[in-house]
Amino acid sequence: MGRAPLGADEIEQVFRILSKEMPGRVPGAMGPKRQPNPFRSCISCMLSAQSRDANTAAATKALFRLARMPRTMLQLSDQQITHAIKPCGLYNLKARNIRKFCQALLRDFDGVVPETRGQLMQLPGIGRKCADIVMQFAFGVDTIAVDTHVHRVCNRTGIAIGKTAEQTAIALEQTAPAWVFKEGHFWLIQFGKRVCLARSPKCRTCPIRHLCQKRAADLRRGDATDTK
């Protein structure tokens, strides 16, 4: 990425602007892929890795028709699980993680999904992003989950710098003002989807273009102008 993070005052300005320009959390928003409980939220989040939303939805629907709790999930054969989740891709790896996750959940937590990031990340298949998503949606903890959109936005703009999404999440936890954590996840994702696109970002109409580290770097190199 090669950029220094923005200063605290600049980061504050960025989030003030995004809070006005981007939609926040919708009242009554449910967990990952609209799952109703922490266990199903975890499974759905695991299935969503490198998968389109529509494919993840198809996979979760098919799997939860067969089983909705860890004990009943473990009663399924490997073939039943892989066949159900095939639409979301990487189904052999995800099926193994689902089985290991259910075994660890029953063995270490009596089948109850834990509420802390550290404990969630002890479970197979649950990384920092999934843990933060489950914490926010299932347990109401204010945290910013870093997916590909948030990772891209933070590093391009200079809000937080990290080579990996997890490194960015750790940096963001240090740089973001406390008031941001309630809805910052939603602002950053929507900004990444609507404005700061992976390809052809809409820099010309970007509401934070005057603060963006990437644009400043491009201007120094002569790759950008005020009208780009």
- Which residue numbers are catalytic? 129, 147
Phi, psi of 200 (to 5 degrees): 55, 60
Q: Where are the alpha helices (DSSP H) in the chain?
A: 8-21, 38-47, 53-66, 70-74, 78-85, 91-109, 117-120, 128-139, 148-157, 165-175, 184-194, 213-221
Say if residues 160 and 140 touch (Cβ distance below 8 Å). no
Amino acid (one-letter) located at 161: I
CB burial of residue 144 (10 Å; 0-12, 13-18, 19+): buried
Cα separation, 194 vs 94, in Å, equals 30
Cα separation, 203 vs 138, in Å, equals 35
